């Protein structure tokens, strides 16, 4: 019996997923977000897609498997995870006219090791009742003392916040970023805790007035009967850097270094970067597709337009270590 979609937990390290002429995927993305894509790819090509869903430990697993790894393709979110598999030598560069055509230069690795699929913006959720339009326009505003006791956020060492701090370093240097982190910390209504949705719940409960979060959580909350009320209590604001745009992060795809099926892997990558596939992918997780001519879902479009920061995310990945050190230096979570 053949399966077009197979999911293995990380603990099943010995579970075989290799099938000749198939494509084998290691994914940090949840199965329900991948299945519409794999089904469509199989329908178009007849190539089966076998997916191992890993909650964590992708780098460690691939290093342990070495040349025996069945992985053809890696799917993941966040530039830190993409850069990790590249920096550990677990991917290979891919040259493809289709990939280059489908993915703008801003959203791919300059050396061809990964290609972006969808983006999300790290924005401000603001109380509809207690925050007026125009009160938050920049990330720098978050360090203004006028917000003292009014900001909620998750841990400063969370990957999404580390990426944002890396962007602050890019725009303002090490000392500027340290000052910004201290300013934001001084404005917190409570110690960093929970996830991005928990911060919106805190706004709804009156514990704070603004929070930092990813755009797609609005879609997730609106789809949840309990959380819909939280979402409806806030509005999305797209801050920019004073000398740049709105900070974004990315989901991306890469070919594994020892891919046993490189031809089908490339075919799958090219499919994933097509406008149709990206729209399927983006709608499933309320993100923004990057392919020229593609559109975000009707819901996402209601949140408004923004100008993404014009910095290649691999440049921010290089600043991750410094961002973590600065976060710990100011004892952001303390």
Asked whether this chain's domains 23-117+249-301 and 120-247+308-329 adopt the same fold, the reply is yes
pLDDT the model gives residue 32: 79
Beta strands in 225-301 (DSSP E): 234-237, 248-256, 288-289
Res. 150: pLDDT tops 60: yes
Q: Any long-range contacts for 295-301 (C-beta under 8 Å, 24+ apart)?
A: 297/219, 299/219, 299/222, 300/215, 300/219
Chain segment 279-329, per-residue pLDDT in tens: 998 988 899 999 998 999 999 999 999 999 999 899 999 999 999 999 999
pLDDT the model gives residue 71: 97
Domain 120-247+308-329 class? alpha beta
Q: How many angstroms separate the CA atoms of 87 and 212, rounded? A: 29
Sketch the domain layout of the chain as residue ranges: 23-117+249-301, 120-247+308-329
Please give the CATH number for the structural domain made up of 23-117+249-301.
3.40.190.10
Structure tokens at 267: 């075919």
Res. 250: pLDDT tops 50: yes
Res. 19: pLDDT tops 50: no
Structure tokens at 161: 């916040």
DSSP for 37-103? HHHHHHHHH---EEEEE-SS-HHHHHHHHGGG----EEEEESHHHHHHHHHTT-EE----HHHHHHS
pLDDT the model gives residue 88: 96
Q: Phi and psi dihedrals of 147, rounded to 5?
A: -95, 10
| More confidently predicted of 163 and 33 | 163
Calculate the average pLDDT of the chain: 92
| More confidently predicted of 95 and 18 | 95
DSSP classification of residue 308: B
**78 Cα distance to chain centroid:** 4
Per-residue pLDDT averaged across 148-177, rounded? Answer: 97
Res. 59: pLDDT tops 60: yes
């Amino acid at each position: 019996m053949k399966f077009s979609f197979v999911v293995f937990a990380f603990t099943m390290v010995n579970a075989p997923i290799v099938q000749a002429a198939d494509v084998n995927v290691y994914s940090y993305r949840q199965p329900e977000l991948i299945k519409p894509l794999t089904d469509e790819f199989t329908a178009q090509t007849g190539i089966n897609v076998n997916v191992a869903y890993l909650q964590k430990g992708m780098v460690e697993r691939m290093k342990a498997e070495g040349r025996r790894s069945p992985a053809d393709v890696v799917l993941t979110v966040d530039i830190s995870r993409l850069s990790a598999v590249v920096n550990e030598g677990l991917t290979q560069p891919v040259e493809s006219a289709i990939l280059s055509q489908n993915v703008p230069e801003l959203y791919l690795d300059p050396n061809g090791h990964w290609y972006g699929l969808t983006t999300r913006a790290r924005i401000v959720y603001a109380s509809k009742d207690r925050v007026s339009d125009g009160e938050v326009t920049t990330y720098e505003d978050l360090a203004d003392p006028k917000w003292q006791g009014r900001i909620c956020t998750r841990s400063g060492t969370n990957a999404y916040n580390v990426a944002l701090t890396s962007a602050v370093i890019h725009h303002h240097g090490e000392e500027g970023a340290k000052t910004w982190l201290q300013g934001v910390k001084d404005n917190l209504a409570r110690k960093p805790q929970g996830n991005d949705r928990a911060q919106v719940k805190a706004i709804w409960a009156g514990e704070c007035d603004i929070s930092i979060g990813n755009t797609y959580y609005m879609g997730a909350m609106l789809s949840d009967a309990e959380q819909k009320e939280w979402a409806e209590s806030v509005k999305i604001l797209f801050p920019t850097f004073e000398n740049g745009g709105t900070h974004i992060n990315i989901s991306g795809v890469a070919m594994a270094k020892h891919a046993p099926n490189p031809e089908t892997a490339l075919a799958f990558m090219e499919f994933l970067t097509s406008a149709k596939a990206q729209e399927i992918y983006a709608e499933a997780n309320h993100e923004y597709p990057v392919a020229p001519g593609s559109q975000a879902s009707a819901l996402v479009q209601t949140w408004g337009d923004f100008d993404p920061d014009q910095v290649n995310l691999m440049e921010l990945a290089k600043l991750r270590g410094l961002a973590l050190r600065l976060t710990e230096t100011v004892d952001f979570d303390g």
